[in-house]
Structure 1
Amino acid sequence: MSELLLAKAHYPVTTLGPGRRAGIWTQGCTLHCPGCLSRDTWDADPDTAIPVPAVLGWLRSLDRVDGVTISGGEPFQQPEALRELLLGIRAWAPPEVDVLVYSGYASSRLRGSAWSRELLALCDAVVTGPYIDRLNSPDSGHLWRGSANQRIIPVSELGRKRYGDAEGGETRPHMQISVEADRVYYIGIPRRGDMERLTERLSLSGVHGGEVSWRP
Structure 2
Amino acid sequence: MLASISRVHFPVTALGPGRRVGVWFQGCSIRCPGCVSVDTWHADAGRIHVEGLIDHVIASAHEADGLTVSGGEPFDQPDALAALLSAWRATLSASIFVFTGRELEEISGWLERHPGLIDAIMTGPFRSDLPQTLALRGSDNQKLHVLTDAGAEFVEYDREAGVQDRKLDVLFDEAGNAWFAGVPARGEFRKLRRLLESEGHHVVTSDFSASRQA
Question: What's the TM-score once normalised by structure 2's chain length?
Answer: 0.87
Change in CA separation of 1:207 and 1:3 when aligned onto 2, cut-off 3 Å: farther
Indicate yes or no: 2:105 matched with 1:108: yes
The whole-number CA distance in structure 1 between the counterparts of 2:66 and 2:16 is 8
The whole-number CA distance in structure 2 between the counterparts of 1:169 and 1:44 is 34
Instruction: In structure 2, list runs of 5 or more residues that go unmatched.
Output: 210-214
Change in CA separation of 1:88 and 1:146 when aligned onto 2, cut-off 3 Å: same
Contact 2:136 2:161 (C-alpha < 8 Å) held by counterparts: no
Give structure 1 regions of 4+ aligned residues with deviation exceeding 6 angstroms: none
Contact 1:29 1:72 (C-alpha < 8 Å) held by counterparts: yes
Of 78-87 and 170-179, deviating more is 170-179
The whole-number CA distance in structure 1 between the counterparts of 2:200 and 2:80 is 40
Q: How does 1:53-132 map to 2 (within 5 A)?
A: 53-62=51-60, 64-93=63-92, 95=93, 97-111=94-108, 113=109, 115-119=110-114, 121-132=116-127
The whole-number CA distance in structure 1 between the counterparts of 2:199 and 2:67 is 32
Question: Shift of the alpha carbon at 1:214?
Answer: 1.4
Which residue does the alignment assign to 1:35?
A: 34
Give the letter aligned to residue 149 of structure 1.
Answer: N
Contact 1:70 1:101 (C-alpha < 8 Å) held by counterparts: yes
Which residue does the alignment assign to 2:202?
A: 208
Question: Shift of the alpha carbon at 1:148?
Answer: 0.1
Contact 2:136 2:157 (C-alpha < 8 Å) held by counterparts: no
Change in CA separation of 1:189 and 1:120 when aligned onto 2, cut-off 3 Å: farther
The whole-number CA distance in structure 1 between the counterparts of 2:136 and 2:157 is 10
Give the letter aligned to residue 178 of structure 1.
Answer: L
Question: Shift of the alpha carbon at 1:116?
Answer: 4.0
Contact 2:24 2:69 (C-alpha < 8 Å) held by counterparts: yes
Percent identity over paired residues: 34
Contact 1:120 1:155 (C-alpha < 8 Å) held by counterparts: no
Which residue does the alignment assign to 2:212?
A: none
Which residue does the alignment assign to 1:164?
A: 155
Q: How does 1:133-152 map to 2 (within 5 A)?
A: 133-137=128-132, 140=133, 142-152=134-144
SS at the partner of 2:81? Answer: helix
The whole-number CA distance in structure 1 between the counterparts of 2:196 and 2:107 is 39
The whole-number CA distance in structure 1 between the counterparts of 2:207 and 2:178 is 11
Change in CA separation of 1:159 and 1:169 when aligned onto 2, cut-off 3 Å: farther
Instruction: In structure 1, list runs of 5 or more residues that go unmatched.
Output: none
Indicate yes or no: 2:142 matched with 1:155: no
Contact 1:143 1:170 (C-alpha < 8 Å) held by counterparts: yes
Indicate yes or no: 2:199 matched with 1:177: no
Give the letter aligned to residue 151 of structure 1.
Answer: K
Change in CA separation of 1:64 and 1:207 when aligned onto 2, cut-off 3 Å: farther
Cα deviation, 1:53-98, whole Å, max 9, x if unaligned, reads 21221123225200110001110110111111111111112x2x11
Which residue does the alignment assign to 1:188?
A: 182
